[in-house]
């Protein structure tokens, strides 16, 4: 990456900085894009230091591109077609945890650092018994985060906002417990543990935006290996009264409680995605768009949503039927190449968290089996 941008994000008193664990296309088309759009709109400037937790390929690609990457926003918004390209320029440095760990830890000592953002997937929320103090880097994400925060504490700096984007209920509180457990295993000092627990703001969040790889024939894909395509819809709910200024984007909203929103999103939108993997992949469909164009699959999904999933949410979340109809429109977005093979990753875990609870609740509530859900779970089990 060119020297001017690398230096810019390490100068004390420079723009507010986010330390982001995760270099995948979702964060690039979500957090990094939001920060870029706020910068373009004249908000107090913020920059992102991204850390690739495992491997180094995407960090190297970002460095080679000077931190810049493209996101296409494509779909329908308020009934109108949206198709715009954004060159995102909010990333000031890209690091590999494996190769650049001393620099990652040093970033914790920057007075300008304000928050940590992450998207390490559900599998990242686990400790590794092999991790030891002083590992460079530790293996698990909670241990990496602890090492970064401990360096900041040792520098006598204020706590940070912790804004995890993993699709887990109470994600920040889970992460907080894991970090504190790791601190206990390492027998770290009581003042540090108190600082972790009280000085850092662990904010539960819920993210919602469909992001996909581009079509193979998209001209931008040939010139930008980091190119991603996102739908116009975007929502980042933060369970906090004080949303940090660097995420004061129109898509970012504060909420007193995330549970109803989480329940609705995971059961309906994510449940539909996981159900499509079970239904459409065996039929030979490669993408959500292709599956939604098939009349039989479309009817099947509507029946699943409105006869088996939505009825279990009535009275528990706000307008589940309306949200389900909106989700059908989003799933049918003709501009997204959302690959079913990507959604199929960790499929068994997703079945347990997205569809099995609905199956159990439907039986308890209505005294009969939901046939479509039952067929999915039996076939996949």
Q: What is the mean pLDDT of residues 126-134?
A: 97
Residue 176's φ and ψ, nearest 5 degrees, are -60, -45
Token pair of 243 as six digits: 């949303």
> Given pLDDT bands bounded at 50, 70 and 90, which one contains residue 327?
very high
Domain total in the chain: 2
Q: Do residues 149 and 198 touch, judged by C-beta distance below 8 A?
A: no
Length of the chain in residues, anyone? 381
Share the mean pLDDT of the chain. 93
The pLDDT tens digits for 178-213 are: 999 999 999 999 999 999 999 999 999 999 999 999
Considering the domain architecture, whether residues 212 and 329 belong to the same structural domain is answered as no
Residue 15 has pLDDT above 90, yes or no: no
Tell which of 254, 284, 311 closes a domain: 254
According to the model, what pLDDT value does residue 277 have? 98
Residue found under tokens 């009581």: 190
Q: Do residues 204 and 172 touch, judged by C-beta distance below 8 A?
A: yes
Distance, in Å, from the CA atom of 200 to the CA atom of 65, rounded to the nearest integer, reads: 33
Considering the domain architecture, whether residues 59 and 181 belong to the same structural domain is answered as yes
CATH number at residue 118: 3.40.50.720
Distance, in Å, from the CA atom of 354 to the CA atom of 159, rounded to the nearest integer, reads: 34
Domain span holding position 17: 3-254
Residue 16 has pLDDT above 60, yes or no: yes
Considering the domain architecture, whether residues 242 and 340 belong to the same structural domain is answered as no
Distance, in Å, from the CA atom of 122 to the CA atom of 349, rounded to the nearest integer, reads: 9
Residue found under tokens 């230096």: 7
Helix, strand, coil % in the chain, rounded to nearest 5: 50, 20, 35
Considering the domain architecture, whether residues 293 and 150 belong to the same structural domain is answered as no
CATH number at residue 370: 1.10.1040.10
According to the model, what pLDDT value does residue 11 have? 42
> Given pLDDT bands bounded at 50, 70 and 90, which one contains residue 242?
low
Considering the domain architecture, whether residues 213 and 164 belong to the same structural domain is answered as yes
> Given pLDDT bands bounded at 50, 70 and 90, which one contains residue 5?
very low
Considering the domain architecture, whether residues 218 and 308 belong to the same structural domain is answered as no
Tell which of 254, 275, 300 closes a domain: 254
Which residue, 206, 246, 242, 21, is CA-closest to 116? 21
Considering the domain architecture, whether residues 266 and 317 belong to the same structural domain is answered as yes
Considering the domain architecture, whether residues 267 and 189 belong to the same structural domain is answered as no
Considering the domain architecture, whether residues 135 and 162 belong to the same structural domain is answered as yes
Q: What is the mean pLDDT of residues 266-295?
A: 97
Q: Do residues 247 and 229 touch, judged by C-beta distance below 8 A?
A: no
Residue 3 has pLDDT above 70, yes or no: no
The pLDDT tens digits for 26-50 are: 999 999 999 999 999 998 889 999 9
According to the model, what pLDDT value does residue 44 have? 85
Report the percentage of the chain scoring pLDDT > 90. Answer: 84
pTM over 0.85, yes/no = yes
Tell which of 254, 286, 305 closes a domain: 254
Considering the domain architecture, whether residues 95 and 12 belong to the same structural domain is answered as yes
Distance, in Å, from the CA atom of 294 to the CA atom of 297, rounded to the nearest integer, reads: 5
Considering the domain architecture, whether residues 286 and 204 belong to the same structural domain is answered as no
Which residue, 22, 150, 36, 158, is CA-closest to 91? 36
């Amino acid at each position: 990456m060119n020297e001017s941008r690398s230096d810019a994000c390490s100068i004390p008193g420079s723009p507010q900085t986010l330390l982001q664990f995760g270099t995948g296309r979702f964060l690039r088309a979500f957090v990094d894009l939001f920060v870029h759009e706020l910068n373009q709109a004249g908000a107090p400037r913020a920059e992102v230091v991204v850390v690739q937790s495992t491997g180094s390929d995407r960090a190297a690609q970002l460095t080679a591109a000077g931190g810049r990457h493209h996101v296409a926003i494509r779909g329908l918004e308020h009934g109108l077609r949206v198709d715009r390209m954004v060159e995102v320029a909010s990333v000031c440095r890209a690091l590999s945890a494996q190769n650049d760990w001393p620099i990652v830890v040093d970033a914790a000592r920057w007075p300008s650092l304000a928050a940590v953002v992450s998207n390490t997937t559900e599998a990242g929320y686990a400790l590794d018994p092999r991790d030891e103090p002083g590992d460079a880097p530790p293996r698990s994400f909670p241990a990496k985060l602890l090492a970064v925060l401990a360096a900041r504490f040792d520098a006598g700096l204020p706590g940070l906002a912790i804004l995890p984007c993993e699709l887990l209920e109470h994600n920040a509180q889970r992460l907080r417990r894991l970090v504190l457990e790791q601190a206990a295993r390492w027998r770290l000092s009581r003042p540090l543990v108190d600082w972790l627990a009280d000085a850092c703001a662990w904010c539960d969040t819920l993210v919602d935006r469909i992001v996909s790889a581009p079509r193979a024939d998209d001209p931008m894909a040939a010139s930008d290996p980091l190119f991603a395509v996102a739908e116009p819809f975007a929502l980042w709910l933060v369970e906090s009264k004080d949303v940090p200024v660097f995420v004061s984007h129109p898509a970012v909203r504060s909420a007193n409680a995330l549970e109803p929103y989480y329940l609705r999103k995971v059961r309906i939108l994510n449940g539909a995605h996981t159900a499509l993997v079970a239904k459409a992949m065996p039929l030979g469909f490669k993408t959500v768009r292709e599956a939604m164009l098939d009349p039989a699959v479309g009817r099947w999904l509507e029946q699943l949503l409105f006869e088996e999933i939505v009825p279990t949410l009535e009275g528990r979340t706000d307008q589940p039927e309306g949200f389900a109809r909106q989700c059908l429109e989003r799933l049918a977005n003709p501009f997204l190449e959302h690959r079913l093979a990507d959604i199929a990753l960790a499929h068994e875990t997703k079945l347990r968290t997205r569809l099995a609870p609905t199956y159990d609740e439907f039986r308890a509530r209505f005294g009969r089996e939901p046939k479509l859900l039952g067929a999915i779970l039996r076939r996949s089990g």
